[in-house]
Structure 1
Amino acid sequence: MKDAIEEESHEEHLADGSKVKHKLMRVRSESMDKKTTERMVEVIEKLKAPKEHVTVEESEDVLPDGTVHRVRKVIKHSVSHIERQHRHEGLVEKVFDGDVKIPGSESQETLETFEKPPYPETVVEHVDEVLPTGEVQKRKVIKNRMIHRIKTRHQSFDADKGPLNEEYEIDEVIPGTESTWYTDSANVSSESESDVEEQQEKVDLGRVEEVTDDGSVITKEIVETRTTTTRTVHSRSGSVDRETTESVVTEEFITPSPSPRSASPLDPKMEQ
């Protein structure tokens, strides 16, 4: 409003977070015949609680060397819904009703990643190994693995903090691709020494009798043999590993009974 003078104003805060501003304005206007008139206008402006708007942009492309380039951009700003109206002599005029971006609320964050193709890497190390005799021996170890390299570039802008730029690179070993071995041999006659201890226990499960098709009677003696084997392995590094196995063997011992004999007419005992 042109030629308006603020006479008084006050604010009220509603339970939903909205804010209502009341202003009483003295407005002067000039007519076509150059006469000046004044009127009192109440300006009521309702500002709803700010809401944050987030826009996400993502893209991905592959560079000539096979590197996967990803970009994720997040843009944030806050808006408030404003309703403005004028009241004069019992009449209400709606002047504005819409969303307005809050100045200084905008921020932007960009995250770029460069994911290079996996590549092999060989690392040679020299380590000390303690033999069972207590002697310390130098060993040469070779490690082969596949590496995954990721480069990250982080850019952000905040109205309060200003611009921020960060860049870092990480090398990761791909799980399951690492192998290690010695390129020399230890000065011992064998890689490990082992002791074997064996225990046996026999259990008599009893006897059973069976009649065969020809009428013979056989006796079966059932014996169960349980064997426990403990193997103790002493490695060159000084560690001790024990492995225990059990086996059960069931055996049957058959004892045949004499077959029944028929009486013979030539048997002298029968003649008597």
Structure 2
Amino acid sequence: MILRRKISQELAIFKENERWILKILKVSKRLYSTGKTSQQALLDIQIRKSEIESELNNKRFELSQLNDRLDYLIGSSELKMNSIPWQLLRSDSKKRKDHKELSLKEKIKAKELSLTASRQNYIPDVTVSIGYTKRANIDENGDFVGAAISFPLPLSAEKYSKHAQATQEKYRAVKNYENYIKGKKRDTSVLSKEIDKLSTELNILEKKTIKFARNSREITAKSYGLGNSTYVELLQSELKLQKILMQKVLLEAKRDMKRVALKYVKGEALYE
């Protein structure tokens, strides 16, 4: 859906450019009719119009392809962009459930139980027996009553081998868990810093760069209409604004992809 939003925003940029270039084309035709601009200027502006139309067509095709894939994956491509809870990407969820972390913890418990069982295998089974012998008082010492305790010595190599294996398996399970937690902290830190970097770039673009580029295009267009600026300067200002707007869309997509990745690493839900 982030990619779909990106393509839709790019499509909107090209549509706005198309409307703008059509106005400029009308102005150019008027200037050409009064001899204030050259035929080359008129042709170059028409070429730029054709380029925008081609870019529009490509973006429409991209969006159509993406909608087909969405329809195949989720059974519908009619999801509205404003129905998606984008605000979840900007907030920290208290509901966290890292299934991989839970799985690793359960493996440690299982290996601990296995190790406990192997330890208990060292304790042999004790057999207690009681015997009674009737002696018919042949020596006036009465009958014999005896008791015996017997158990096997735990000298089996198989028992030692199983215990060693259980110990190693538990050690590996603990190390896997510890390594995962370390990796999770590292990935969380890296992703958070990348998100901050992209957010800072976007903030500068939105508050300064885009504003300056729009003003530059408007001023150049007015100056061109009066015959004071060249068509080359006009097209340069238009292309510069388009490049900046496209960069903004790209950075927003990258930032939100990082936000999704961060939520995945933390085990946060992507739904309300």
Q: TM-score range by the shorter chain?
A: under 0.3
TM-score calculated relative to the size of structure 1: 0.20
Structure ID, larger Rg: 1
Q: Relative to total residues, which structure has the larger helix share, 1 or 2?
A: 2
Q: Relative to total residues, which structure has the larger strand share, 1 or 2?
A: 1
TM-score calculated relative to the size of structure 2: 0.20
